[in-house]
């Protein structure tokens, strides 16, 4: 088989693997908390937020700014974990794929 044919076949296989991995990542979740567990955020590994839970005891109206900050902190932590997993999983697929003349 010509090197172009091999490259096309390898790219098609990689595309299929990427689609399967993206589907799996959309279903996989990570969880992060802040404020000693007062705020819990669950993120999907596709970069979306699945849920946010707030302990009712943290909902004192005078603490609104603090609760908002805890939500941001937990959401950013969850999204960072999700991105790390996604990057790792997608890297497994593209590992070893090289274009002649570029690497």
CATH number of the domain enclosing 33: 3.30.1310.10
- Domains of the chain: total: 1
Do the domain assignments include residue 64?
yes
What distances in angstroms separate CA 44 from CA 12, 81, 100, one per listed residue?
26, 9, 35
What is the C-alpha end-to-end distance of the chain, expressed in Å? 21
Of residues 37, 35, 39, 49, the one with CA closest to residue 78: 49
What is the per-residue DSSP string for 14-31? HHHHHHHHHHHHHH-EEE
Q: Is 49 part of a structural domain of the chain?
A: yes
Residue 73 lies in a domain: yes
Q: For the full predicted model, state whether its pTM sits above 0.75.
A: no
pLDDT band at 103 (very low <50, low <70, confident <90, very high): very low
Query: Tens digit of pLDDT for each residue in 22-78?
Result: 888 888 888 999 889 988 989 888 888 888 888 888 788 888 888 888 888 888 898
Is residue 101 scored above 60 in pLDDT?
A: no
Residue 97 has pLDDT above 80, yes or no: no
Tell me the angle at which helices 3-27 and 64-94 cross, rounded to the nearest 10 degrees.
150
Instruction: Answer yes or no: is 103 within a domain.
Output: no
């Amino acid at each position: 088989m010509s090197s172009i044919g091999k490259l096309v076949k390898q790219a098609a296989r990689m595309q299929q693997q990427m689609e399967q991995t993206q589907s799996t990542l959309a279903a996989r979740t990570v969880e992060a908390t802040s404020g000693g567990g007062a705020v819990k955020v669950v993120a999907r590994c596709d970069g979306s937020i699945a849920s946010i839970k707030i302990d009712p005891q943290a909902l004192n109206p005078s603490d609104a700014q603090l609760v908002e900050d805890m939500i941001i902190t937990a959401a950013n932590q969850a999204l960072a974990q999700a991105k790390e997993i996604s990057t790792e999983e997608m890297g497994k697929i593209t590992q070893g794929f090289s274009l002649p003349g570029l690497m």
